Amino acid sequence: MLSGCADNESVEQCLTGYKYGFFGGLWHGFIAPFDFIGMLFFDDITMYAQNNNGGLYALGFLMGSGGWGFFGSKGASKVRTRKFHFRSDKFDHAEIVE
């Protein structure tokens, strides 16, 4: 009820011109960390283009930002495990108990 009294802003000016697609979203995803830092200091910088084509832009943005682990290095995600080497000579003097 109260939101009906709020001032409405026109977004038509934002939605005119070039529509960003998959590759635009991919690029915006790559530069998202830098955009975030810029957003802290400047009001005219945004991370996500308002004038986009929808799902393909969102998929590109998600892939570019690493949201699903695309383009990540294997070294960062590899779990380091210590290999256990069984030495049979350690048990040569063991007694067999029945």
Distances (CA, A) of 8 to 3, 5, 64: 10, 9, 33
List the Cα angle 19/38/71 in 5-degree steps.
65
**pTM summary value:** 0.55
Sequence-separated (6 or more) residues with CB below 8 Å from residue 89:
none
Residue 35 clears pLDDT 80, i.e. is over it? yes
For the chain, the straight-line distance linking the first and the last C-alpha, in angstroms and rounded, comes to 82
Weakest-pLDDT range from 44-48, 70-74, 82-86: 70-74
Residue 55 has pLDDT above 70, yes or no: yes
pLDDT of residue 67: 74
